[in-house]
Each structure stands twice: as structure tokens, then as C-alpha cells.
Amino acid sequence: MAMEIKDIKQQLTLAQVLDYYGLKPDKHLRLHCPFHDDKTPSLQVYYKTQSCYCFSTKPLKKQSQ
């Protein structure tokens, strides 16, 4: 009997998800962002809130000079 996806999501911690994808945060809890071509670790992991934030993902806007 397979678990439902939502059940898995509710039971997995962020650490388990990262481990599943083979992502290992550095000592600053930053990762190379898997969502775009990331040269430096820009994905900040927050274990306290079970969330993460990518500092490189910014809204597209024109550069003025």
C-alpha cells in the first residue's frame, strides 16, 4: 500500500528531502540552488522553519547602466 504524496510531504523533514535529492548544505546552511544554474551556493536553508530561500532568484528587471 503506497503512501499518498501529501502524507509523505507531511512526514518528511526538510533535511530528509534534501538528503533524498543528494543536496548537502554547507556550514552556513547554503546549497547550490537546484532550480537554476548556480555558480555559488545561493539557496539558504532554514531548518527551524523547514523552508529555504534562493537569494539568486530575483524578479527580472532591466539593468539601468
Given the rule CB under 5 A, which residues bind Zn ion? 33, 35-36, 54, 56-57
33, exposed or middle or buried, with CB in 10 Å at 0-12, 13-18, 19+?
A: buried
Q: CB nearer to Zn ion: give 47 or 55.
A: 55
CA nearest to 46, candidates 21, 27, 29, 58: 29
Q: How far is the CB of 49 from Zn ion (least distance, A)?
A: 18
Supply the minimum distance, in Å, between the C-beta of residue 55 and Zn ion.
8
CA atoms within 13 A on the CB side of 30: 11
Q: Shortest distance, CB of residue 51 to Zn ion, whole angstroms?
A: 14
- Would you say 1 or 21 has its CB closer to Zn ion? 21
